[in-house]
């Protein structure tokens, strides 16, 4: 077992024992020591969600989490490291205040375009949800290349995990990447549609039809159409 996993397990065990101060210490340590490591995803998902659960019953944990959020923003402005914005947004999300991260992005969009270009991937879904179509378009330099990147990633997983002897795990992985592909492709189309970029919109629609038909997945286009119709 790695030291990082051990630290996280200690935090969880401390929560069970209602040793909240020790649990907080270990969540803080895990968060600090796993920045840019293989535990990065766990850090921003399980660690933060469990930390928030602790904060709901232990006020010191809430104060610590809020301080960590504010520190991430300070470090972003100081170091210009994109991952600091990822930290900031993830903590804002777990604290049910995604509007704070959106506000900071919009500020950087105006004041520091070089940095906002590096971090837009972390806030993209929120921009879509808030229907910031004009701003989204400014970061969609080459819609077709973006689509091709998404399809290539999807196709790699499709070829690897969809076959006659697919396991349940293969099917789960494929379902995950399929939902991701549908979401990302729909978002591209929505940005183009709402900005009246119909030539690019039509071109990508044709590519979607062709690519999916060649993989025997024409029904997936129906799912994309449904998402488009809902927005």
pLDDT value for 229 = 85
pLDDT value for 109 = 98
Residue where one domain finishes, among candidates 80, 108, 138: 138
pLDDT value for 36 = 83
Return the closest-CA partner of residue 68 out of 112, 109, 24. Answer: 24
Q: Could you give the number of structural domains in the chain? A: 2
Q: Which residues contact 1 (CB under 8 A, 6 or more apart)?
A: 9
Q: Which domain holds residue 88?
A: 3-138
Return the closest-CA partner of residue 131 out of 97, 107, 102, 153. Answer: 102
Residue where one domain finishes, among candidates 103, 138, 173: 138
Residue where one domain finishes, among candidates 113, 138, 163: 138
Residues 24 and 89 in one domain: yes
Alpha-carbon distance of 155 to 215, in angstroms, equals: 9
Q: Show pLDDT as tens, one digit a residue, over the chain (231 residues).
A: 579 999 999 999 999 999 999 999 999 999 999 998 899 999 999 999 999 999 999 999 999 999 999 999 999 999 999 999 999 999 999 999 999 999 999 999 999 999 999 999 999 999 999 999 999 999 999 999 999 999 999 999 888 877 767 788 888 888 999 999 999 999 999 999 999 999 999 999 999 999 999 999 999 999 999 989 877
Residues 13 and 61 in one domain: yes
Alpha-carbon distance of 50 to 41, in angstroms, equals: 14
Residues 78 and 157 in one domain: no
Residues 19 and 130 in one domain: yes
């Amino acid at each position: 077992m790695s030291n990082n996993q051990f630290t996280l397990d200690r935090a969880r065990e401390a929560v069970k024992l209602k040793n909240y101060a020790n649990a907080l210490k270990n969540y803080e340590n895990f968060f600090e020591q796993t920045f840019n490591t293989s535990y990065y995803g766990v850090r921003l998902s399980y660690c933060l969600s469990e930390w928030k659960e602790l904060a709901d019953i232990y006020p010191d944990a809430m104060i610590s989490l809020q301080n960590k959020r504010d520190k991430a923003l300070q470090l972003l402005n100081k170091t210009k490291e994109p991952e600091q914005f990822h930290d900031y947004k993830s903590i804002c999300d777990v604290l049910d205040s995604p509007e704070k991260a959106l506000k900071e992005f919009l500020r950087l969009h105006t004041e520091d375009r070089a940095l906002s270009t590096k971090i837009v991937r972390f806030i993209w879904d929120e921009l879509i949800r808030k229907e910031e179509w004009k701003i989204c378009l400014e970061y969609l330099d080459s819609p077709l290349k973006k689509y091709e990147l998404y399809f290539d990633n999807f196709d790699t997983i499709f070829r690897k995990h969809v076959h006659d002897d697919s396991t349940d795990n293969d099917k789960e992985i494929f379902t995950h990447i399929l939902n991701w592909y549908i979401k990302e492709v729909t978002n591209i189309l929505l940005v183009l549609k709402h900005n009246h970029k119909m030539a690019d919109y039509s071109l990508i629609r044709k590519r979607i039809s062709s690519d999916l038909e060649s993989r025997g997945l024409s029904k997936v286009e129906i799912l994309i159409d449904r998402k488009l119709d809902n927005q």
